[in-house]
Every structure is written in structure tokens, then in C-alpha cells.
Structure 1
Amino acid sequence: MTTPPAFFCGAIKTAVERLDWPGHPEIAWGTVGALRDRVLEGERPAVIVVSDDALERLAARGLIRREAILKLGLAGTGLALREGAPRRPIDTPDAFRAALLAAESIGWAEGSSGATAGKHFEAVIEKLGIADAVRAKAKLVRFGVEAVAACGRGEVELAVSQVTEIVNRPGVSLLGEFPPPYDLATGYAAAPVADGAQAEAILAMLGSPAMRNALDAIGFRQERAP
């Protein structure tokens, strides 16, 4: 089986869909963990887009060059709300906990699939002491965007995902990001895995003003300089 030239995680999917990118390469969409592991196991796409942490692991194995990394920005972790469902505050830990308990159903991507938001959410509900109650009304999927889509179809009241996978999706609105100390902003970036013209072309599009505008439109934040 031929390896697609682009390995992209779901956090940038909506932005890529907004681009006018004629003749774009075949894209393998997946969770951060799944895409990282495919490269660790020997697959060589032209370019991979995953979290900063995942790229660091690949760099430590000599599979990408740190100096070639293209930063894309930060994505917060939030809750999608089904259209027409009651809005509840989630701006404090107590309000957040109460909203999760009050929801009829909650969808998220299983942490074991390598989903960044799902893995974080599972740790949060353990810390809040409500893991059993929340899991009893869970709809577990492979990708955060699938949970958001299920929310948009009315199958769950709330969905957990990156904010960038919630904004501008049909049938849902952003209820809000997780409150401190349970918030999580994940840095995402691109890096060439195989050098060549195809990698250069993909990176040029990912670094273009059009892509920057698309990322901004779905809630990506620019990373602050150290």
C-alpha cells in the first residue's frame, strides 16, 4: 500500500477544507498518536502535521529535522454544544463539573486512539471524581471531529474536541474551553519527513497567508515568542 504524501491530524481539518488548494496531495487524516506511530513504524510521508510533542519524539529518533519544523499555532480544548441544548457556564472548575454531570450525553475520541483532547478529557474527569458518571453516558469515537459531528446530528448533547474542530461546524456551537487548571492548549506544527519537491510544495501551502487566515478563522492562536 502506498503511503499518502500528507499525514495531517484532525486539528487542522476544517482549515484545510477552507483552502483553495487545487491538485492538493492525498491526505491521510488521523489522530496525533496514530500518525506519529505510523512514522515511528517506518512509513515516510512527505510531510506530517501533529502536535509539538509528537514532532519532538520524531526528532529525537532522527526522523525529522527540528530546524525544518513549521509552527502552525495553538489550539485550545473545549466543549461543543448541540444546537438548541441549554447553555451552562463552564468557566470555573465547579461549573465545569456540574455541566458535565448535567449533560444527557457526551461524545469524545478515546484516549487510547491517540486523540489529544480525548486523552486529556479522560484524565480530567478522573481528577474531578466523575469518571464513572461521565463514562456511563459516553459516545466514544476514533476522532474528535467525529464526536463533534455526532453532536451536530443530535446524537449527543456535548462533545469534547479541539476548539479548531468545533468552530464553524454545522449543528454545534462552542460552549467554551476547559477552565483552569483543566485547560489545555496544544501546539501544532508541520515537518518534512521525506525531502523533495512534494514536501516543499506542501509546506509552502501550509505556511501561506491563505492557510494562516484559515487557521485564524477556526480558532488557532499564534504561539508567543519565548
Structure 2
Amino acid sequence: MRNLRLFVSAVAFFLCCIKPTIAAEYRLYAAAGIKIPLIALSQTYQRESGHSIVNDFDTAGAAEKKFLADPNASFLITTKPRIDKAIASSLLTNGQAIHLVDTAAGIASSQAVKPVVRNGADLKAALLSAKKIAFSDPARGATVGLHFVKVIRELGIEQEVMAKAMVARDGIETMRLIQSKTVDIGITQMSEVVQADRTTLVGPFPKEFELVSQYVLWYKTTGDAGVDGFVKLLTSSRAAGIFAQEGLLPVTSR
């Protein structure tokens, strides 16, 4: 009995000395084109680690601005040119950049009979015949929105398109306008089309106007095991499969 009491006392002392793992919260700002897979991966990470990821999705430019304004943020996912520029200007320091996935600019349609867009002439005809067109706000740093304005200028139809255009806050709103049939054509990342309603996808821009963006993950290398664990998940083969299912293009090499 004495030995049992000693054993119980020893176990109680040992348990009192163990420090419980404290669940941490990490903030992530990302371009909306990667929203659905990131939500799924964040939920997986929370189940497996106990730590939580607080996601904020916006245009590529707005996501970058929000991250830079938040000293407690850990992760940023936006386009490679923005990451490169921020690193070169020392806005991003003490961290690491990883090429995560790629995404292509695409076209969505709410019409029962979708336009066939094989070349610039097809794209021009589709845009001119549409009654309403939505695209993400270039002023808010929307990558595809900025590209689309250049395209319609090259096609010589900027005035006609802008007269019937609805400038959306981001790609998510663009797809809401498509799903509600408020507009005939929506211009955004193909991944955003697939994640919202893949049945509305017309396809990518024709070859001469193709836009493929590299989404880059930047994170603070502070030696935090929680941060490192989430990065490991994001760059795993399991994550690659989830990204591919949601319309994102795999990275062949890092």
C-alpha cells in the first residue's frame, strides 16, 4: 500500500510538472484565387496540431497591403512580382519565399450556351456580344483585372466593354455576379471560377492573351514550430492534390 501511495504521488508530481501545449493562432493573408483549398488545409492543420489559422482573402494587392499592416501576421500568399518587389524594397524581411502553385486567368459565363474562345477574335466577339461583364477591380490590385484592361485596349474595345462593365471588389464577387446571372461574362482567375462553380468555366484566355500567375508563400522564419508545421503541410503532396482539385496548376519544380 505504501508503495502504491508513493507511485501515485510520483505520477501526480510528474503530471503537475508537464507544461501543456498552448494552442497558437496564426494569421494568413492571401489572394482569393487560393481560398477554398487554403480553408480546407487550415482546418486539417487545426485538427492535427491544435493550432489555428485565421485566413483573410482579398485581391493579390490588397492581401499584401493587409499583411504589411499587420505586425502579428505570419503568412502571405500573393503573386511572385509583388513578393519580389516587397523583398527588394525591404518591406518583407526575416522570412522565406516558396513558389506554391500557379493559376491562369480565365473566363466564366452564366449563359446557357457558352461562347467558344479559341483566339483573340473569338474573345473580342464574346465581349462585344455580352450584355454585362464583370471583372475584379484593378485599383485594388486585382491581377486579372489589371491584365483584362490591357487586353481590351489591345483589342480596341475598351470603350465598349467599360460601358457595360461591373467592377467587382475581387474574384469572389465576380463569381457571385455570374452565379446570380447579373452578368453574362466574368473575368477572374480560373481557380476562382472552379472553386465557385466549375460549370460556368469557359476556359483560359486565348494563347496571345494568356496570363499565368505564380502564387508565392512568404512566411516569417522565426523558428516557430507552429509556423514550420503549416508550411510543411502547404508544400506537401497532400496539399498539391487539394490545390489541383480546385483549379490550381502544380509547380513542376521549386
Q: Given the two structures, how large is their TM-score scaled by the length of structure 2?
A: 0.79
The code of the aligned residue for 2:240 comes to R
Sort the Cα spacing of 1:208 and 1:224 in 2 relative to 1 into closer, same or farther, 3 A. closer
Percent of paired sites with the same residue = 23
Picking from 110, 113, 127, the partner of 2:137 is 110
In the alignment, structure 2 segments of 5+ residues that lack a partner are 1-24, 47-51
Relative contact order higher in (CA < 8 Å, ≥ 6 apart): 1
The answer to whether structure 1 residue 48 and structure 2 residue 76 are counterparts is yes
Match of 1:85 in 2: 112
Tell me the distance in 2 between the aligned counterparts of 1:225 and 1:178. Answer: 24
Match of 2:14 in 1: none
CA RMSD of aligned residues (A): 2.3
| Residues 33-61 of structure 1 deviation map (CA, whole Å, 9 limit, x = unaligned) | 11223344564510111111111112213
Picking from 128, 132, 135, the partner of 2:155 is 128
Sort the Cα spacing of 1:133 and 1:61 in 2 relative to 1 into closer, same or farther, 3 A. same
SS of 1:169 mapped into structure 2: helix
Q: Which has the larger radius of gyration?
A: 2
The code of the aligned residue for 1:197 comes to A
Runs (4+) of structure 1 exceeding 3 A deviation are 17-20, 38-44, 223-226
- Deviation, structure 1 residue 133: 0.8
CA contact (8 A) 1:40 1:58 kept: no
- Deviation, structure 1 residue 65: 5.7
Match of 1:7 in 2: 29
Match of 2:58 in 1: 30
The answer to whether structure 1 residue 97 and structure 2 residue 124 are counterparts is yes
Picking from 216, 223, 226, the partner of 2:251 is 223
| Residues 111-153 of structure 1 deviation map (CA, whole Å, 9 limit, x = unaligned) | 0110111111111111111111111111111111110121011
SS of 1:155 mapped into structure 2: coil
The answer to whether structure 1 residue 213 and structure 2 residue 241 are counterparts is yes
Sort the Cα spacing of 1:174 and 1:11 in 2 relative to 1 into closer, same or farther, 3 A. same
Tell me the distance in 1 between the aligned counterparts of 2:177 and 2:239. Answer: 27
Sort the Cα spacing of 1:99 and 1:166 in 2 relative to 1 into closer, same or farther, 3 A. same
Picking from 25, 30, 44, the partner of 1:21 is 44
CA contact (8 A) 2:104 2:212 kept: yes
CA contact (8 A) 1:74 1:220 kept: yes
Range with bigger deviation, 15-24 or 108-117 = 15-24
CA contact (8 A) 1:48 1:193 kept: no
Sort the Cα spacing of 1:42 and 1:171 in 2 relative to 1 into closer, same or farther, 3 A. closer
| Structure holding more helix per residue | 2
Picking from 193, 196, 199, the partner of 2:227 is 199
SS of 2:131 mapped into structure 1: coil
The code of the aligned residue for 1:192 comes to Y
Match of 2:19 in 1: none
In the alignment, structure 1 segments of 5+ residues that lack a partner are none
CA contact (8 A) 1:64 1:191 kept: no
Sort the Cα spacing of 1:16 and 1:225 in 2 relative to 1 into closer, same or farther, 3 A. closer
Instruction: Give the count of matched residue pairs.
Output: 222
SS of 2:105 mapped into structure 1: strand
Q: How does 1:166-205 map to 2 (within 5 A)?
A: 166-170=193-197, 172-193=199-220, 195=222, 196-205=224-233
| Residues 11-42 of structure 1 deviation map (CA, whole Å, 9 limit, x = unaligned) | 11122244452533111212111122334456
